[in-house]
C-alpha cells in the first residue's frame, strides 16, 4: 500500500528504506565572491589536497528562507566572515560541473553572489571544508585564471562582467 502511494507521487520505496526521485535532480548551491574594492582583491579558498582555488559556498538548506540566508551562513562557515544579507549583490545562477556528479544524471546549479568588503576590517579564518584562504589581486587572476578551479573559472568571468571589467 505504501509503495503504491509513493509511486503515485514519483517516489519509490527502496530496500534500504530511502525514497528517491526517479528523474534528474538539480542540487541548489550558493557561491560568494568576496571582493575588496579598495585593494582590488578577491578572497578564494582551497580545499584539502587540491591545487586550485574556489569561491566560498555550499549547498542550500531546505529550511532556510532564501538564497541570501544560505550565502551568509556558508560564508561564515567557511571564512568566519559575518555579513548581513543586504550586503550581498546577486550576480546570477549558473551550472557547476561538480566532480561528484560528472557521471550522474544529477547536477548542480549555483546562485552566485558578490559582497564588497574592506579586507582590513576582517580576520578571515579557513573553516569547514576549506583548508586555506587567500586574497588574490583580481588583475593577476585575470592573467592566471587557471589557479581557479576549472569548475569555478566561468564564475570568475561572470564576476568580472558584473564588475564591469
Domain assignment present for residue 109? The answer is: yes
Domain assignment present for residue 4? The answer is: no
Domain assignment present for residue 12? The answer is: no
Contact residues for 22 (Cβ-Cβ < 8 A; gap 6+): 10, 11, 12
Rounded-to-integer distance, Cα 53 and Cα 62, Å = 27
| pTM across the whole model | 0.84
Domain assignment present for residue 113? The answer is: yes
Q: What is the pLDDT of residues 92-108, one digit of tens each?
A: 999 998 888 888 888 89
Label residues 55-93 b or e (16+ Cβ within 10 Å = b). Answer: bbbbebeeeeeebbbbbbebbebbbebebeeebbeebee
Domain assignment present for residue 127? The answer is: yes
Say how many domains are in the chain: 1
The model's confidence at residue 16, banded by pLDDT at 50, 70 and 90, is low
Rounded-to-integer distance, Cα 110 and Cα 71, Å = 11
Q: What is the pLDDT of residues 19-74, one digit of tens each?
A: 566 788 888 999 999 999 899 999 999 999 999 999 999 999 999 999 999 999 99
Q: What percent of the chain has pLDDT over 70?
A: 87
Domain assignment present for residue 11? The answer is: no
Domain assignment present for residue 7? The answer is: no
Domain assignment present for residue 65? The answer is: yes
The DSSP line for 7-30 is: HHTT-EE-TTS-EE-SS--EEEEE
The CB density around residue 30, as the number of other CB atoms within 10 Å, is 26
Query: Domain range holding 142?
Result: 24-162
pLDDT of residue 11: 53
Kindly report the CATH number assigned to the domain that includes residue 72. 3.90.79.10
Amino acid at each position: 500500500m505504501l509503495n503504491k502511494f509513493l509511486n503515485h507521487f514519483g517516489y519509490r520505496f527502496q530496500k534500504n528504506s530511502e525514497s528517491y526521485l526517479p528523474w534528474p535532480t538539480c542540487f541548489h548551491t550558493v557561491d560568494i565572491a568576496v571582493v575588496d574594492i579598495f585593494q582590488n582583491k578577491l578572497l578564494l579558498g582551497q580545499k584539502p589536497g587540491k591545487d586550485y582555488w574556489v569561491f566560498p559556498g555550499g549547498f542550500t538548506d531546505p529550511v532556510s528562507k532564501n538564497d541570501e540566508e544560505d550565502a551568509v551562513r556558508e560564508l561564515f562557515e567557511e571564512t568566519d566572515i559575518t555579513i548581513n544579507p543586504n550586503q550581498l549583490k546577486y550576480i546570477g545562477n549558473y551550472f557547476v560541473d561538480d566532480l561528484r556528479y560528472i557521471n550522474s544524471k544529477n547536477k548542480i546549479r549555483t546562485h552566485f553572489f558578490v559582497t564588497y568588503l574592506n579586507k582590513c576590517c576582517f580576520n578571515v579564518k579557513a573553516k569547514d571544508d576549506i583548508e586555506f584562504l587567500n586574497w588574490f589581486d583580481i588583475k593577476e587572476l585575470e592573467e592566471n585564471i587557471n589557479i581557479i578551479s576549472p569548475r569555478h573559472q566561468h564564475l570568475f568571468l561572470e564576476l568580472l562582467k558584473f564588475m564591469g571589467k
